[in-house]
Structure 1
Amino acid sequence: MKRNLTRWLVGLQIVSVALTGCAPTQPFFYGERGDLAHYIDRVQRIEYPDLDKEPLPEVSQSMEPLSLDNQNYEYLDLTLEEAISYALSNVQVIKALPGTQRQNADIASILLASPVAQLSTVFDPAIVANTTNSQPLALDGNGNRVLARGASRANQVGGVEDALSEFDAQVSAFLAYNNTNRARNVGVDSDGKSSNIFNPTPFLADDGNAQLAISKRTATGGVATARSQTVYSSNNIPLGIARAVPTDYTQIFEAQVQHPLMRGRGTLMNRIPIVLARINEDVALVDYEERIRNLVREVEFAYWDLYAAYWNFETARTARDSSALAYKIARAKFNQGNAANGVAQAAATYHDFEAQFKAALAGSGPGEPGLLGRERNMRLLLGWAATDGRLIRPIDKPSVGLAKFDWESVKAEILTRNLDLRKMKWSIKQRQLELISAKNQILPEVNLSLTYRWVGVGGQLFGNGNNPPFPQGGSAGAFEELFGGNYQEGAARLDFIPTALGSRRQLTDISRAQMDLVRSHRILEAKEESAVSLAQDYWLKLNGIHDQMTSFFQAYQENDRLVQIFQTKFEMGDSSNQDFIIDNLLRASQQRARAGLNYNLRVAEYNKYMVELHALKGSLLE
């Protein structure tokens, strides 16, 4: 009965498995909904970092922005030298873009939206100098340094200290213990004991091994290693003929030198990674100098733009006040009959100048920030608060005389000191070193290894001195025997490992390095051509803008004279020709304002192009 019941249960289980098949039971989760709302709510919840970092006082204590309605400020006179000094003293994140092209975009927007990796700081050269390779120094089982024999490339090395660390001495040590308990394949007597005194069965042994080594890479490409080994042995081999003492110690001290004879040989090859690392640091310094140069350039640009903005504001105010006076007189004297046209024209001109006055102060849109916008941009470059109750006012006068440069001197300075050309020349030096390293890889690897060791064997590790030589008496120490210098050994080994048949990879690497070098030379030539062309462009613009500046200044003077003439006639109240007088007065006022605006802009541009030429020559930071 019990057997039948078991059969029925087994059969029922088989049928159940067959009916259910491979359809798994869906998991059940607490709070589960079909639209996964609970999961989505958890995953898409916005979190804010809990960072213990207070904002700068320049940010947290900044005042309400200055505007047309808020003009509660006092003037702060600032020289150009002071502005540059403040900017360089407060710089942490360099508020300037790389390259030689002028910045037309909003610096604040660029800094806020740029990824961290694209921003430059004063820490960048130090970060490059402290870049390290994450791979540790490699050692073999004997404590010898294992050197990488591949070609060196500039983008695979860190800083100089990291490259020099390849020549640091590396200490290694290990301690090993082994226990043996096994039968031997030897003849035994009736008691099951081995008749072979050299091979007892079972064989019981305790063995230990300790090693301490120090290994260092040499400047010529070799490896020098000093090594100490201690070996302990204890087993059940019977004392007598087979064994003098139950335990013995072996102490070894050896010196080993491995040196390449072909690939990787010589100081030239082994100093290439260090030189590449040093050039990487030099390139980082050039990049840093470029950003600082651009910062100084932007500060000077902002200074002269602010200077021009003040004069544009003053010109707009003068034009507005003049048109307001004309409108007031016209309305008082000629606000009847046919003279109403002149009054309306004077009113329209006044409102136009009023709008220009407000735009000159507060700005009129992208590219026209106005006086307050220019001042705020200057504050950002100086590292000051956006508003602190003071309004920066430039007091240095711009250069208006024609600047004279010697073309040959300018050209020589550009080819010698230009930052972009200097960085490209460093790149060529790196390509030359990479080519030398690539050519060395086609040589076979031929390594010579020489080893010399001192050996001491004793029944004890140290001994108590004045013991007979081991194994006599068995009480001599291993160190005692070692220092006796009676046992010395030597070894020599020559390894030969050529490249793979055909040397395809090595030849391809040489071709790549050669093409990289040629490419870098062509790029340098193109950059030199571009630099000289850009210098000529700045040279011509300096002369052209100076001529325009002179013309606009003369136009401003002539229109100012016309304004005074027609204003005198206008104030006299000549009613016979009043429309003509009002029309010419307003027209002369507009032309005077336009000439003054253009003159101020040309003065700023003239000084900015002198800055551009000095930046191109590499003399801006002097």
Structure 2
Amino acid sequence: MRRDQDKTLATRAPASPFRRISDRLKSSWRRSRRAALLALLIGATSISNVGCSVFDRIKDGPHDTTASYHDDYAMRIEYPEVQQCASAPAEAATQATAPLALEDPSKIPTLELTLEEAIQLSVQQSPVLRSIGGTVITNPDGTTTTFDPALAHANPLTGVEAALSDFDAQFTQELFWSNADQPQNLASNNVVTQFTPNTLQETYGTYNAELSKQTAQGASFALRHSVNYNYSNRPTRAFRSDFIGFLEAEYRQPLMQGAGTTFNRIAGPNSQIGQYNGVLIARVNEDVALADFEAAVISLVADVEQAYWELSAAYRVLEANVKGRDSALQTFQYQQVRLEAGAGRSDEEAQAQSQYYQFRAQVEAALASTDGLYTREQRLRYLIGLPASDGRLLKPTTTPTDVRVVFDWESALGQALSRRVEVRRQRFNLKKREMELTAARLNRRPRLDFLGQYRFRGLGDHLIGGSDKEAFDSLYGNITDGNYQEWQAGLEMQFPVGLRAASAAVAHANLNLRRERAVLAETELRISHDLADAGRQIMLTHQLLETNYNRYLADQRQVDVLRRRYRDGTDNINFLLQAQRQVVTSEADFYRALAAYNLAIRDFHRQKGSLLAYNQVQLTEGQWAAGAYQDAHELGRHLTPRLNPSDVEMPAPLTSGAFDPSAPQMQSFMNAPATDAMLESSPQPVESPQPATAAEDAPSA
């Protein structure tokens, strides 16, 4: 501690304990030890009282002021340099123009698009399956792509090829050289010194090679070859250098634990207790990945259809608000003329002007709000892979359905419980748990293996060649002569007493199986409820469609009557302004109900597992590599059908066969007209207005 710091501490402390300690150190060792203990206690007490203030007054040392590599470089934020390939989404991101906000849609070129074309574009533009929420930015790892099934298959840890690799032949070899130069501790009069040199000098060489193969029955075959070379200065050796080696074959067959194709196909060879990564488990994992991919495709198709019908409704809502704004402008201008002529009132003119601006605000909101036309159009653009804006305006041309659709409940429920991808996925999980329980039960047995070995040994002064007259001139010649043969056969048993871990694995697998069964039953129950809700929504939305249309017709007649009465001067302007607001609201509600009815039909198809077939979307495997076709052709030449397949014992199949979620289904619905009881005493609806299909039919803002 520096002198200035010592002075500071001395002025703050009335009596320095350190000075007393230094005096006591000069007396004796016992007194100094007591003083040291006392100083330690006093120092600890003072530090605990003042906290960190003493350490704060200590200035930084040289090591504290030296700049570190991590201060200005290692923790610096940098931009990574990666290789990015040109793709349609990347080009669409860079080609986007300024967004549309309050432009007149009637003056913008249109791009007519059917629902079928929109769905085709959405599934063909990018390998990434998009969603309305756009979670690819916030959760890129959770984004589904077309690569996910292939990634599950090619996973080096849990994929099918990884499970099959456990049965591949393994080849290992090693070659080492070493040297020994050791002085010996020998007495000069010892008899051993005549046969042992004073300095032992030897050179060693070791070569080992092994080729092993694991079979599906659990057996393992191994072929080993070992050669040891030794050069020594020992005088007792017949050859200064020699080669000793053997050629060995080994066969090991598990008889209890680890035996049989059932266990090895589920758990894999040499698996640990509770670990199951066999070929069948890997196959189920791949099927689960395919189910997840199919669910993502269904979600994409549902989002595209939702964005399409919402955009179609946004056009009609904008058209209704534009008509209301024009009607309010006419009323306002008419009231201005009356006021200038002295026949009107200023408060009525202000009311008409206020309603005009109210409808104008609604038109602006219908254009650029979160539920406006341009927002809906951009949402559909994202789903089909187009730029955010390119100077054109997407216009739906598919006519929405307005006829009443009645589904056959029994047929729809049966299809939902068999075609829903969630049910199929859960059934695969259940199948996986069943196989795990089977493997766990087979694993609760002692390890009893039959082991057989046969070996040819040899010794030679040379490795290869030499004179045939001498017995040990060549190692390989000595081995091939077969004069020295060894064999071994027997049983090998090993197991923990009580099999506690294996019993726990069985209990765990049994609980997992029961859980998956309960989840499957609950999934089917939930699907039946969701299907019932979807069927109820179809009936409700169609009834609301008819009700809102009849309401729209009534509001139109009311506006016509009140306009005539207002122009005749027999009625107040308030009734006319209110009627104008009501007719715009009822027309917008009608078109929203029309979009909701088409979305309800979509939801019913989604709940019963027929959305892909309903939208003509098919899932197929991509093209194989050219080498895969060649391998399949060459392998097929060696496979011939059996004359009597019933004589062959085969494990139980994993699945019941191929399943096509996009296959056409039997029509289980019919178009039915509305009944008198549904319409009651309301006027019969006339033909509903059709959506605009050309640029000149677009509403003018």
**What residue in structure 2 maps to residue 468 of structure 1?**
469
Tell me the TM-score normalized by structure 1.
0.81
**Number of the residue aligned with 1:564:** 560
CA contact (8 A) 1:339 1:578 kept: no
Query: Which residue does 1:107 correspond to in 2?
Result: 133
Contact 1:225–1:255 under 8 Å retained in 2? yes
1:282 aligns with 2:309: no
Please give the alpha-carbon distance, in whole angstroms, between the structure 2 residues aligned to 1:254 and 1:32: 65
Q: Which amino acid aligns with 2:128?
A: V
* Paired position in structure 2 for 1:86: 121
Please give the secondary structure, in 2, of the residue aligned with 1:66.
coil
Say which SS state the counterpart of residue 405 (structure 2) adopts. coil
Residues 275-310 of structure 1 show CA distances to partners (whole Å, capped at 9, x for unaligned) of 111111111111111111101110000000000000
In the aligned structure 2, how far is the partner of 1:568 from the partner of 1:25?
94
Cα distance, 1:26 vs structure 2: 6.7
State the distance in 1 between where 2:345 and 2:64 align.
Answer: 88
Task: Answer yes or no: is 1:120 the counterpart of 2:118.
Answer: no
- Residue 68 of structure 1 aligns with an amino acid whose one-letter code is L
Give the 3 Å change call, closer, same or farther, for CA 263–247 of structure 1 in structure 2.
same
Instruction: Name the SS of the counterpart of 1:355 in structure 2.
Output: helix
Aligned to 1:603: 594
Mapped to 2, the partners of 1:88 and 1:375 lie a distance apart of 18
Instruction: Label 1:498 to 1:585 Cα distance change in 2 as closer, same or farther (>3 A).
Output: same
Give the match for residue 99 of structure 1. Answer: none
Q: How does 1:161-172 map to 2 (within 5 A)?
A: 161-172=161-172
CA shift digits 1:79-112 (9 cap, x unpaired)? 011111111111233222xxxxxxxxx624x433
Change (3 A) 1:219 1:26: same
Does residue 77 of the first structure (1) align with residue 112 of the second (2)? yes
Match of 2:368 in 1: 362
Alignment of 1:5-404 (within 5 A): 27-29=61-63, 31=65, 46-51=77-82, 53=84, 56-69=90-103, 73-96=108-131, 107-108=133-134, 110-112=135-137, 114-133=138-157, 158-180=158-180, 190=189, 194=192, 204-238=201-235, 243-272=237-266, 273-333=278-338, 336=342, 339-363=345-369, 368-404=370-406
SS at match of 1:563: helix
Aligned-partner SS, 2:477:
helix
- Cα distance, 1:202 vs. partner? 5.8
**Aligned-residue offset at 1:337:** 5.8
Say whether residues 1:618 and 2:609 are aligned partners: yes
Between the aligned partners of 1:554 and 1:298, the Cα distance in structure 2 is 30
Residue 589 (1) aligns with residue 614 (2): no
The letter for the 2-side match of 1:263 is: Q
Deviations 1:376-410 (A, max 9, x none): 11111111110100000000001111112111111
Letter in 2 for 1:227: R
C-alpha displacement of 1:339? 4.3
Q: TM-score, structure 2 length as denominator?
A: 0.72
Matched, 1:490 2:487: yes
Percent of aligned pairs with the same residue?
31
Cα 1:605–1:173 shift into 2, 3 Å: same
Aligned counterpart, 2:519: 523
1:40, 1:483 → 2: CA distance?
70
1:485-564 matches, within 5 Å, as 485-499=482-496, 501-564=497-560
Structure-2 separation of matches of 1:193 and 1:203:
17
437-446 vs 333-342, which moves further: 333-342
How many residue pairs were aligned?
A: 547
Letter in 2 for 1:561: R
Residue identity in the other structure for 2:133: I
C-alpha distance in 2 between matches for 1:90 and 1:428:
35
| Cα distance, 1:448–1:44 mapped onto 2, change above 3 Å | closer
- Return 5+ residue gaps in structure 2 as ranges: 1-24, 27-31, 41-54, 267-277, 614-701
Partner of 1:481: 478
Q: Letter of the aligned partner of 2:113 in structure 1? A: L
Q: Quick one: distance in 1 between partners of 2:203 and 2:126?
A: 68
Higher mean C-alpha deviation, range 540-549 or range 424-433: 424-433
Compute the displacement of 1:43 (Å).
7.7
- SS of residue in 1 equivalent to 2:192: coil
Letter in 2 for 1:175: L
Shift, 1:251, TM fit: 3.7
CA contact (8 A) 1:194 1:200 kept: no
* Mapped partners of 2:484, 2:455: distance in 1: 9
Question: SS of the residue aligned with 2:455?
Answer: strand
- Distance (Å, rounded) in 2 between the aligned partners of 1:389 and 1:438: 64
Query: Does the aligned pair in 1 maintain the 2:338–2:344 contact within 8 Å?
Result: no
Q: Retained in 2: the 8 A contact 1:431–1:517?
A: yes
Residue in 2 aligned with 1:152?
none
Q: Distance in 2 between matches of 1:179 and 1:351?
A: 101
Offset from partner CA, 1:427-486 (integer Å, 9 cap, x none):
111111221222233211112211112233322211157x13614xxx3x2212222333
Is the alpha carbon distance of 1:205 and 1:521 closer, same or farther for their aligned partners in structure 2, counting shifts above 3 Å? same
Q: Is the 8 A contact 2:228 2:243 kept in 1?
A: yes
2: CA distance, partners of 1:496 / 1:45: 60
Partner SS for 2:389: coil
| Alpha-carbon spacing, 1:401–1:69, altered in 2? closer, same or farther (3 Å) | closer
Q: Report Cα offsets for 1:12-36 as digits up to 9, x if no partner.
A: xx99xx99x9x99974148569xx9
Given that 1:302 and 1:377 are in contact with CA atoms closer than 8 Å, whether structure 2 keeps it comes out as yes
For structure 1, the 5+ residue unaligned runs are 1-13, 97-105, 134-157
1:387 is paired with a residue whose SS is coil
**1:507 corresponds to which letter in structure 2?**
S
CA spacing shift, 1:218–1:42, aligned 2, 3 Å: closer
Contact persistence 1:249–1:459 (CA under 8 A): yes
